[in-house]
Amino acid sequence: MKKRTMSTRLSINYALLIIIMIGSLAIIFYKYNQYKIYEEGMNHLRQISESSMQQIDSRLTNMEQVTVEVLSNNEFIKAWEAYSLAPDKANEEIIKTILSNAYINRNDIRRVTVFSENGVFCSMGKTDASKELVKGRAEYIQQYYHLNVMNSRVFLSSDLDFWNRASKDQVVSEIKPIKDQNAVIIGYIEIQQNLLYMNRICDIKWNGNLLKVLIFTGDNDDFFYSNSEAEESYIREVAAKTKQYTKVREEDKRILYTVSSNYYTARAVFVLEKGILNYAMQSILTGILVSAVLLILLTTIYIIIITRRVMEPINILTKRMASTDLYNINEKNPIMIRDRETEILVNSFDEMTKRLQETIKRQKKMEEAQVKTLFSILQSEIGPHFLYNTLGSIANMCEQGETEAAADACYSLTEILRYSSDYAVSEVQIKEEINNLKAYFAIMKSRYRQRLEYELTLDEEAKNLLIPKLTYQPLVENAIRYSLMEKKQVVVKVYTVLLGNEMIIEIKDNGCGISEETINSIDEKIKQMKMSSGEDDFTNSVSFGGMGLSGTLMRLSIYYGDKFSYLIRNNNDEGGITILLKMNIVGYR
């Protein structure tokens, strides 16, 4: 006997189906418009944020260019060095002329001032500052900011003009150290900009509402916020939530959109309330939703009764699908088939389970290729800051007449760039890594002179072993960078030894150590990487530019698999950090 079709049995419910379709269409329309508004809003927010950040960068760069123009003038350095020790009219005129020429064509610069720690200062424009107040300002800067680091600067948040408080004008400032030929700080230069320029950039309205804009520099120093009535707790909350860089952070009631500066350690956070985003469609969508809900409520009970018997075989099939896994996929549970459609579904499910088994087999074959792809993603990350700093050091050596040292640094940099830019090679012999590391140390030595000492030890038997490219340099770079923040003289030791089938790499420094929280964070990143199910999951879990300690450990974990382990020891015998890398080298000789 021919089975009746499900469409025939449900035809009596056609009128009811029309009502349900209307409700469904209303929901679809609601969701579609909600999605469309959100996407358009996010695109608009992105455009506004990036455009505003470019303008903010432009304002900061104007101040930076003034400092560069002044501090690169040898005549100014000589005049200020003499004036700061014994103020006189002749040197004052020279200083003011140079300061005036530096910002004469920059209309947004309010004032340029130079001052020393003993209270001597020379300022363009009207000033009511006293020598004692200037001493206090210099002491404050020395206490709270590390301006003895190369290329250091600090951007000060909006405040009254320190040099003319009677004016009541709000300004933002950049301060950089003035250094003599021996890199000794002999004073500070401060560039002021009227706050109104930042206010104009950040005066952004959305549907008639003012967008909140917060700008942070350095280690969460609040530089500017558009809402002058914002509480300190609110500012600190936003700073903490955006410290770990995430471009878009979506919360229940607001969206935090973060844009980083292209030139400075600064970021702008644009806070958009979701209520503002959805305001345009709120009244229309509410009416549609209410109508749809009423229709659904009136018909739900009747639909349940009518469809229960019709859908019973399908419900059984659904439960079978839900309980099916890789362990019982071959089990057969007979289903009473009452109509042709159910028969098609059951047969399709059985066919699907067969295809699934075949897919699982193919998936295992793809995993090896997946690992190689993920390794390539990590291998390709190289930060530009090392190149910028090295070129700056070479320029300084050239200016100081150290041509031979500059040439050696250039040769070393050439070797490093040639080595790191060969993207076709992902694994090299350890002796090649050590040669690259020696070139890197040579450059660092030319920059920091007596402040840096290093020691390299390599077992002869380990020279020809294979290892992922650029394993040593990121770890040593971390050790030098963070140790220089705390120590006058940095000592970095690198050991590579072979014990049977195990190779051990040890990197030690005498720096400031590392917090347990940071170690736990690194362990969590490695754990997430190992648990990631695919390339997209993996790349989303790794921050762009993260080729330091955690990035190197991830590459080694992918390369050696279970044959690799690591240990991070804090507070070693020299007070710094020790990183131990252990890998079984069977098959990597």
Ordered DSSP codes for 100-131: HHHHTT-TTEEEEEEE-TTS-EEESS-----H
Query: What does the block give as tokens for 372?
Result: 């190689």
The predicted structure's pLDDT at residue 558: 82
- Measured CA to CA, the distance from residue 241 to residue 193 in angstroms comes to 28
Best-predicted range by mean pLDDT among 313-317, 498-502, 552-556? 498-502
- Measured CA to CA, the distance from residue 519 to residue 382 in angstroms comes to 22
Residue 53 lies in a domain: no
- Measured CA to CA, the distance from residue 36 to residue 44 in angstroms comes to 12
Residue with tokens 């349940």: 304
The predicted structure's pLDDT at residue 402: 78
| pLDDT over 90 at 552, yes or no | no
| pLDDT over 60 at 81, yes or no | yes
Binned at pLDDT 50, 70 and 90, residue 556 comes out as confident
Rg (CA), the chain: 33
Residue 125 lies in a domain: yes
Which CATH number belongs to the domain containing residue 146 in this structure?
3.30.450.20
Give bridge partners of residue 505 from the DSSP assignment.
496, 581
- Where does a domain end: 155, 173, 198? 198
Residues 6+ apart with CB under 8 A from 338: 3, 313
Which CATH number belongs to the domain containing residue 474 in this structure?
3.30.565.10
**Range of weakest confidence among 144-153, 238-247, 510-519:** 144-153
Residue 114 lies in a domain: yes
| pLDDT over 90 at 481, yes or no | no
| pLDDT over 60 at 214, yes or no | yes
The predicted structure's pLDDT at residue 371: 47
**pLDDT tens sequence across 157-184:** 888 999 998 888 999 999 999 998 888 9
The predicted structure's pLDDT at residue 362: 47
Secondary structure (3-state) at 41? helix
Q: Minimal CA–CA distance to 16: which of 306, 310, 287?
A: 306
| pLDDT over 70 at 491, yes or no | yes
Residue 172 lies in a domain: yes
- Measured CA to CA, the distance from residue 397 to residue 404 in angstroms comes to 9
| pLDDT over 90 at 290, yes or no | no
- Measured CA to CA, the distance from residue 506 to residue 580 in angstroms comes to 5
Residue with tokens 């408080």: 165
**Cα-based distances in Å from 222 to 219, 273, 319, 482:** 9, 21, 56, 24
Residue range of the domain that includes 106: 73-198
The predicted structure's pLDDT at residue 124: 92
**299 residue type, one letter:** T
| pLDDT over 80 at 322, yes or no | no
Binned at pLDDT 50, 70 and 90, residue 589 comes out as low
Q: What angle do CA 245, 581, 548 make, to 5 degrees?
A: 20
Residue 223 lies in a domain: no
Sign of CA dihedral 77, 83, 89, 90: negative
- Measured CA to CA, the distance from residue 55 to residue 61 in angstroms comes to 10
> Mean per-residue pLDDT for 386-414?
78
**Range of weakest confidence among 2-6, 208-212, 220-224:** 2-6
Q: Minimal CA–CA distance to 260: which of 56, 507, 35, 436?
A: 56
The predicted structure's pLDDT at residue 305: 66
In 261-373, the DSSP E strands lie at 266-273
Residue 321 lies in a domain: no
Binned at pLDDT 50, 70 and 90, residue 71 comes out as very high
> Mean per-residue pLDDT for 206-222?
79
Instruction: Check if the beta carbon of residue 486 is closer than 8 Å to that of residue 496.
Output: no
- Measured CA to CA, the distance from residue 544 to residue 72 in angstroms comes to 34
The residue ranking higher by pLDDT, 369 or 526, is 526
Helices then strands, counting H and E runs in the chain, come out as 17, 19
Secondary structure (3-state) at 37? helix
- Where does a domain end: 198, 224, 259? 198
- Measured CA to CA, the distance from residue 80 to residue 176 in angstroms comes to 14
Residue 351 lies in a domain: no
**pLDDT tens sequence across 356-389:** 766 665 455 444 434 444 444 444 444 555 666 6
| pLDDT over 70 at 266, yes or no | yes
Alpha carbon of residue 482 to chain centroid: 18
**pLDDT tens sequence across 52-62:** 999 999 999 99
- Measured CA to CA, the distance from residue 453 to residue 444 in angstroms comes to 10
Query: What does the block give as tokens for 391?
Result: 């070129």
Q: What percent of the chain has pLDDT over 90?
A: 28
| pLDDT over 60 at 566, yes or no | yes
- Where does a domain end: 171, 198, 225? 198
Residues 6+ apart with CB under 8 A from 59: 108, 193, 197, 198, 201
Q: Average pLDDT of the chain?
A: 80
- Measured CA to CA, the distance from residue 566 to residue 504 in angstroms comes to 10
Query: What does the block give as tokens for 79?
Result: 């005049």
The predicted structure's pLDDT at residue 4: 55
Residue 215 lies in a domain: no
- Measured CA to CA, the distance from residue 63 to residue 69 in angstroms comes to 10
Secondary structure (3-state) at 262? coil
Number of domains present in the structure of the chain: 2
Please state the pTM of the whole predicted model.
0.46
The predicted structure's pLDDT at residue 378: 46
**pLDDT tens sequence across 85-128:** 999 999 999 999 999 999 888 888 999 999 999 999 999 989 99
The residue ranking higher by pLDDT, 327 or 263, is 263
> Mean per-residue pLDDT for 6-19?
59
Q: What percent of the chain has pLDDT over 70?
A: 78
Best-predicted range by mean pLDDT among 22-31, 451-460, 477-486, 520-529? 451-460
The residue ranking higher by pLDDT, 392 or 510, is 510
The predicted structure's pLDDT at residue 459: 94
The predicted structure's pLDDT at residue 531: 77
> Mean per-residue pLDDT for 216-222?
71
